Amino acid sequence: MKPASFDYARPQSLSDALKLLAIHRDNAKIIAGGQSLVPMMNFRISRPELLIDINKIPDLDYHECSSDGHYLKIGALTRHETLRNSALIAQYCPLMHKAYQHVAHVVVRNRGTLCGNLAHADPASEMPAVMLALDATMVIRSNQGERKVQAEDFFKGLYSTDIKSDEILVEVQIPILDASFRFGFAELSPRKGDYASTLVAVMLKLINGKIESAALSYAGISDRPVRAPAAEKALLGQEPSSDLFQKVSAIVVQEIYLKKEDLESHVFQADLIQTLTPRALLNAIASHDQ
């Protein structure tokens, strides 16, 4: 199918883009890499009257450490492929580096942006779960100014975020964690480069061989990425072991699925959680030994 007709604007500055958004609001859409928006327009799931192309706006394509060295800053036009191949990301955000091995195909990654991916909020996407595990901050701008939203408040539901119709996600800020943190990732997808059936992103802090803090973040099992707080709590103060990781995986299934009415229809996903959670946790511990 072809998209419904639309007007097209290519502002040369962020302030011009924000002015256009302030006027057209729900009738306009930002286009970054177009890798999710264009298919949705072709299927007429999305029918914007105006496309605001941000690709000519300078200074939005960057990824760097903040001046205080506490976090990574990633701009709105930074492509997946740049981040996937970045030595800076591999060093300072190993969880993102691991997860990027599962994201899409090179042609998609060459155009698709991290911020577009997060704004699109596909519930089976890798990076939203990674941002949730790492407590990332979204920097959002409108004509009225700038605000910051934590990842846990950013993802609101199926393809839905906290970004308002007159706002642009201009930057993602990801904490740089010290050497006591370990990261693991595991995913099952129908084919390499497809969205996940289920995935888990893991962050563990190990002090003297014991787990001092933990994040288990899942995608593909709800309308948005979710953490598993009861399972995370069960890891605290424990020494990592296969037995512990099996027990914790069972807790994840309980806390995510006990609330749901029909557990039977979720048996496959429950099995995936039971398989992928220990795998990601062991992956985190193995990265400790490397």
The footprint of ligand FAD (CB under 6 A) covers: 29-37, 39, 76, 103-104, 108, 111-113, 115-117, 119-120, 125-127, 163, 168-169, 193-195
Cα 206 to chain centroid, rounded: 24
CB of 108 to ligand FAD, least distance (A): 4
CB of 171 to ligand FAD, least distance (A): 9
State phi, psi for 190 to the nearest 5 degrees.
-55, -40
Which CB atom, from 122 or from 232, has the smaller least distance to ligand FAD? 122
Distance CA 160, CA 128 (A): 12
Distance CA 168, CA 98 (A): 27
CB of 261 to ligand FAD, least distance (A): 29
CB of 81 to ligand FAD, least distance (A): 10
Cα 59 to chain centroid, rounded: 22
Report residue 261 as tokens: 């009415």
Which CB atom, from 151 or from 163, has the smaller least distance to ligand FAD? 163
Which CB atom, from 77 or from 206, has the smaller least distance to ligand FAD? 77
Asked if 167 and 142 touch (Cβ cutoff 8 Å), the reply is: yes
Query: For residues 67-94, b (16+ Cβ closer than 10 Å) or e, as one string?
Result: eeeebbbbbbbbbbbbbbebeebeebbb
CB of 173 to ligand FAD, least distance (A): 14
Which CB atom, from 42 or from 66, has the smaller least distance to ligand FAD? 42
With CB atoms as reference, the residue minimizing the distance to ligand FAD is 112
Pairing of strands 198-207, 181-188: antiparallel
Which CB atom, from 86 or from 117, has the smaller least distance to ligand FAD? 117
